Chains A and B, each alone.
Chain A
Amino acid sequence: MSVQRSAKPDRALAFARVFALAAPVIYVICELMNWPVFTYHPGTGRLDWGWAAAVKDEGPAMYWFGWNLSMLIGGAVVAGLASLAPGLARRLPLAFSWIFALACVPLYLYALRFYWTH
C-alpha cells in the first residue's frame, strides 16, 4: 500500500506544501508594499480595485480584505502550478512554511515599531 502511494504523484501534498509557504510570503509582501486586490471603504460601502486612498469625510479605507484576497489568489495560483510538478515541489522543505510563519512575529514586531515607540 505504501509502495503504491509513494509511486503516485502526491498532488495534494505538493499543493499544500507550496501554498503554506507561498500564501504567507505573498501576504507579507502585499501588506508591506500595500498591494491589496481591492480597497473597501466601510463608511460608504464602496469597493475600489487595487489600492485607493481614504476619501475625505467618508471615513477610513480598509486594505486587509484586499491583502487576504491577494494571498489566497496568489497562493492558489503558485501552489496550483506546483501541483502539476509534484516531484519538483517535494524539493521544497516543509520546514520553510513554519520557519517563515514564525519569523513573521519578530518581522511584524519590528515593522509595527511605530506603535510600540509612539
Chain B
Amino acid sequence: MELVHLVMAETTFWTILLMIHGLLSMALIGALTHQAASVLRAPKAGGVGLAARFSGVKGEVYASAVAGLWVVTFLFGAWIYVKYRTYIRIPIEQEEFWKTLGAFELKEQLASIGLGLLPLYWLVWRRSSDKALQPARKWLTLTLALFGWIAFLVGHVVNNVRGFGS
C-alpha cells in the first residue's frame, strides 16, 4: 500500500478504486436489467423495436457474468468500505445527513442478501431448459435487479454527498 502512495496521492488511489467499483456496478445492472427484461417480456417473433431488442436476449448468457460481477463488485465495495467508514461516514454523521447514512445501511444489507442468492440464481439459469425452474429464474433475476439498482443509486447519492478526496 505504501508503494502505491509513492506513485499517487492516497485520495487518488481510493477514488480510482471507487470508480472501478462504480464501473463494475454499471456493467452489473446493465446485464441484470437486460436479463430482467427478458424474463418479464416474452420475445415475439419478428420484434424489431427498441423494447423488443432490449428484452429479446437469451437470459442464460448473462447468468455467469451477473454472478461474477456481483462478487467482484461486492469485493471492491468491501475494500473501499473500510475507507468509507472512517473518512466518509464520520463527516456525514457530523453533517447529520441521516437519510443518506440510512440508505447506505440498506444498500450494504441488500448487497449481502443478494450474495446469498447467487448460487441458486446461477444454477437455475445454468439449467435454462428445465421449465420447472422458470419461476425461480424470473423471481431471482427480478430480486437481484431490484437490489442491484437500489445499491447503485444509493452509492451514487452517497458519492454526491461526500466522495473520496472531498
Query: What's the count of A-B pairs with C-beta under 8 Å?
Result: 112
| Bound: A104/B147 CA distance, A | 11
Is B32 an interface residue when CB atoms closer than 8 A count as contact? no
Q: Which of B8-16, B23-31, B34-42, B115-123 contacts A (4 or more CB under 8 A)?
A: B115-123
B136 to chain A, nearest CB (A): 5
B residues with CB within 8 A of A: 78, 81-83, 85-86, 89-90, 96, 98-99, 101-103, 105-106, 108-110, 112-117, 119-124, 133, 135-136, 139-140, 142-143, 146-147, 150
Contact in complex: A115, B143 (CB < 8 Å): no
**Chain A window 1-40, contacts with chain B (Cβ cutoff 8 Å), 1 for yes, 0 for no:** 0000000000011011101100110011001000000001
6 A-B residue pairs with Cβ-Cβ distance under 8 Å, sorted by A, are A62-B81, A71-B115, A75-B116, A98-B142, A105-B146, A116-B99
How many residues of chain A are within 8 Å of chain B by beta carbon?
39
Instruction: Write out the residue numbers on chain A whose beta carbons fall within 8 Å of the beta carbon of B124.
Output: 16, 94
Closest residue of A by beta carbon distance from B113: A24
Distance A60 CA – B123 CA, assembled complex (angstroms): 39
